[in-house]
Amino acid sequence: MRSRVEELRELRDRVLAGPGDKATAAQHARGKLTVRERLELLFDKGTFVETEALRRHRATGFGLEDRRPHTDGVVTGWGEVDGRTVFVYAHDFRIFGGALGEAHAQKIHKIMDLALAAGAPVVGLCDGAGARIQEGVTALAGYGGIFQRNVRGSGVIPQISVIMGPCAGGAAYSPALTDFVFMVRGTSQMFITGPDVVQAVTGEQIGHDALGGADVHARTSGVAAFAYDDEESCLEDVRHLLAYLPANNRELPPAEPVHDPVDRRCEALADLVPADPQRAYDMRHVIAEIADDGEYFEVHELWAANVVCALARLGGQTVGFVANQPLVTAGVLDIEASEKAARFVQFCDAFNIPLVTLVDVPGFLPGVDQEHGGVIRHGAKLLYAYCNATVPRVQVILRKAYGGAYIVMDSRSIGCDVSLAWPTNEIAVMGAEGAANVVFRREIAASPDPEETRRARIEEYRRELMHPYYAAERGLVDDVIDPADTRTELIRALDMLRHKHAQLPGRKHGNQPQ
């Protein structure tokens, strides 16, 4: 028995060592960590438990029968992140370039099934060259099994993809099906067809990073929610994100001890937000002033920056902030901002995270490109997401709230639970200038002094229909509050709504706008 145990120990040591120093040096030369080094950064020290470390493929042909390394190029298992169970699969680029074959896929299928059964998040550390060509259609079928499990787990357990190398072809669809995608600059790329194919088909010449690098997907396509300069900071933020999330859709997010007084007055808000609706400011400073200890975790910071989506805590409880950003295109809603916010609202609703919506929006972005690009159906995605959400929902109107954009930003009319407003709020079909030009255009045109008449009618419209208490008088706003009390009022409202129970009509699923 002792000799057998010693044989097992030696075998495990060889598995942990990987394919050799040369392969490890090559991985480091690419600016990438090895799979074991990544797992040490992701999990609490000494908590990782590996599954199927001794798995080997059984494929033959093209020399595969002579190359049967243990793990088959993917490490799977579970461990703890801040003491909470998290499952993982991580490609080992040193073995077959991390390419997926039958055994490789079956390991991923098994760990995803375990994560769903245990009700715990799953993280994929992606560093693979796609399907293993030598195994043909069985490799493609392996991807199909992963996609099916991504969809089955959607809205049930958090799913996070961390792109730490190539992720091309069909492999890119699994990260697209997960909740959040992290990427690392300079070493990770995602695309359906690589530069060579693009050039052959379209004649366009482009490099790997320019086609599908981290900044492309974080700024332009919106595929990546986060981009980092190195793997260490990337994995640190994966841990940070997990700290905000529940293990599954049957639990509430973890609460943290409250060191920031819940009744802290936010006096700085009066200086951060100008009363003049034409002046810009940074909405992120408002969120920082309201949130516990000034901390928040922004999602898709670089994409569709005219809306801010962030996770934070209020009174120790996780909340999701959705806020217009006056610093970027005056905070208007457009196609990309609508998609970004809708996706975030759906995620928060799926995982029992209350929503706080900070409104300062002049409307939807006008223009031919927006209309032809489908701003109607894309804007409807955000409307659908809010209307479908059953978590606690609190709206705060800071300044402008005009037209359809006011309705879409979780107004009382589409079901927000508590609507608050600052004394600088202006809720109307459109701005006073535009409204006066429409309503009084004949009078203005016939006036001997059109400009003076226009100024008088603008002031009249603002005085009659846009004063800060107009909506409150009609029950569309619950209260007009001192901005300094915003944090206290939000925490009170969310505490009241903590046990909110809302039930949607019985149905298989809705048919949301696409």
Q: In whole angstroms, what is the distance from residue 383 CA to residue 371 CA?
A: 17
Closest by Cα among 146, 129, 49, 56 to 91: 129
**Cross-strand bridge partners of residue 79:** 86
**DSSP letter (8 states) at residue 61:** S
Closest by Cα among 325, 294, 335 to 399: 325
Angle at CA of residue 180, ends 176 and 183, nearest 5°: 85
Phi and psi torsions of 313, nearest 5°: -130, 145
- Number of helical (H) and strand (E) elements in the chain, helices listed first: 21, 17
488: which 2 tokens?
A: 């206290």
Return the number of other C-beta atoms located less than 10 Å from residue 389's C-beta.
23
The three-class DSSP label of residue 76 is strand
**DSSP letter (8 states) at residue 220:** I
- Classify residue 298 by burial, with Cβ atoms within 10 Å: 0-12, 13-18, 19+: middle
Instruction: Please identify which residue in the block is written with the tokens 């603002």.
Output: 462
The answer to whether the beta carbons of residues 111 and 87 sit under 8 Å apart is yes
Q: At what angle do helices 35-42 and 231-244 cross, to 10 degrees?
A: 40
Q: In whole angstroms, what is the distance from residue 245 CA to residue 237 CA?
A: 13
Angle at CA of residue 188, ends 167 and 128, nearest 5°: 35
Q: In whole angstroms, what is the distance from residue 402 CA to residue 464 CA?
A: 16
235: which 2 tokens?
A: 């994995």
Q: In whole angstroms, what is the distance from residue 69 CA to residue 56 CA?
A: 6
Q: How far apart are the first and last CA of the chain?
A: 62
Q: In whole angstroms, what is the distance from residue 92 CA to residue 165 CA?
A: 10
Active site residues: 169-170, 404-405
Phi and psi torsions of 327, nearest 5°: -70, -20
Q: In whole angstroms, what is the distance from residue 318 CA to residue 295 CA?
A: 11
98: which 2 tokens?
A: 């991390």
The three-class DSSP label of residue 430 is coil
